[in-house]
Structure 1
């Protein structure tokens, strides 16, 4: 499905996944097997104590790694099968940068890895995930 346009990707994401707009998530880079995005440290992404919420970290990693997978997807759709996140540091300083890249693409399974870094470049979280590529059925009108 690659190439994808950054502006179009942001429009589609914000329209179809309002939580990403709520977070302030913005795709800044897409290339074959790789994607990066940024988001700020506003009130919508914080938990008690003013640190970055773990659920937000998981959501942006899922979105970004999924976008990287999308660049190598020649099927009809894809779904996240598994996502493991290691939370390494408290996120206290935005903007944050989240990047993901494909590690291996098989027939229907794609493995990707990614990370979230704060404004100082500190590694906040690291992730490894698996996506399943859904195939178009022969004769389907899609």
Structure 2
């Protein structure tokens, strides 16, 4: 149950990644090119690895978002703190006090307008249990969005 719920949290984080997420302040944002994006992640929770890959259309109005907006989208009462600029991105701490509790140290890096990388390590808690996790995600623009 913990792994399934953490997978959901991981999927939300990855969704934030493909939305072009990573800002350090209210004014700072990393924007990416809209289009068809492929994202993948590898996660280890309590020593158990799992991964996912998907392709989604990223419209122009979602091509930039702040790091705090990504945390808010998790709907887990999450706050981003200790945000520091690093080369082409930011390091940060994500602390959540909702249904999922925990803290993660992470980095978000814009490799180009067509590639993003996110890595995080921390602990997640659910129903009084805690587990270590590590997370690595990558998103790459692969094409224009299909015309509907």
**What TM-score do you get using the length of structure 2 for normalisation?**
0.40
Structure number with the higher strand fraction is 2
Structure number with the higher helix fraction is 1
